[in-house]
Structure 1
Amino acid sequence: MSDATPEVAEAGRTMHIGELAERTGLSLRTIRHYDDVGILPATARTEGGFRVYSEEDLERLMVIRRMKPLGFTLEEMTDLLSVLDALQQETDQGAVDELRARVATFRDTAVQRRDKMVETLARADEFIDVLTRY
């Protein structure tokens, strides 16, 4: 992408929002919303004002996409993303341990929410079985 800033181009492959949407299965509107609320700011903008995203942004968006079906709020997503960002930069072992404990809390919450979804799905299957009898 020749219209991306040189710093972004040198940092690695970039993509416009359409490619990011295609690769994640999310709508342009959703990605723009995540940018607007600050959990997925574009890495850069072209001279024409188009959003430019990196592979790291794609990975971040995939975390967000995976949290959404489990009912995590934007605030919770923001919190987890800040923890994950800090883990990538932190060198103090005590701080790393604290951050990992926070990730474990998110994991426990995700497991609980998934278990509830499994239970709900089982009930839906039971209902479908009832309807199949007719």
Structure 2
Amino acid sequence: MQIGELAEAVGLSLRTIRHYDDVGLLPASRTEGGYRHYSESDLQRMLTIRTLKPLGYSLEQMREILDAMDARAADPADEAARAHLLELAEGLAARRDRMATDLERATALVERLGGDDQGPAGKA
């Protein structure tokens, strides 16, 4: 797929996707004319990046996770890669749990302020 199709599929701008290509997180193959071309695995990689970014992961941390995923995919029997991915998954789960707590607190504050008529307690 071309960059516009990828951008639409993941809900990100062309500029953002180009940036991830430039920093090496999503290296695109190129057509003879120099246009970026993306595969289904590139789409999955971009979806992973899109998930990691709002969780506060740096580019280097995202690279580590993507590299670990690549190593595991290249050799599913590699126990070191599997163990590393499990460790990374635990860190991701901890971040997710902290964000869930923050979201619950924000929701409670919105409700206390009276600004959420459609919140969990007041769904219509």
TM score, norm. by length of structure 1: 0.80
Is 1:29 aligned to 2:15, yes or no? Answer: yes
- Per the alignment, residue 49 of structure 1 pairs with 34
1:31-79 deviations in Å (ceiling 9; x for gaps): 000000001010x222332111111111111111111121111111111
Unaligned runs of 5+ in 2: 116-124
- Per the alignment, residue 86 of structure 1 pairs with 71
Aligned length: 115
**Quick one: which of 102, 116, 124 aligns to 1:120?**
102
For residue 35 of structure 1, what is the amino acid of its counterpart? D
Unaligned runs of 5+ in 1: 1-14
1:84-126 deviations in Å (ceiling 9; x for gaps): 11112226x4xx1111111111111111111111111111111
In 1, Cα distance between equivalents of 2:111 and 2:74: 51
For residue 48 of structure 1, what is the amino acid of its counterpart? G
In 1, Cα distance between equivalents of 2:72 and 2:105: 39
- Per the alignment, residue 120 of structure 2 pairs with none
- Per the alignment, residue 2 of structure 2 pairs with 16
TM score, norm. by length of structure 2: 0.86
For residue 67 of structure 1, what is the amino acid of its counterpart? L
Alignment partner of 1:72: what SS? coil
Alignment partner of 2:38: what SS? strand
How far did 1:127 drift? 1.0
Alignment partner of 1:107: what SS? helix
- What fraction of aligned residue pairs are identical, expressed as a percent? 50
Cα RMSD (Å) = 1.5
- Per the alignment, residue 118 of structure 2 pairs with none
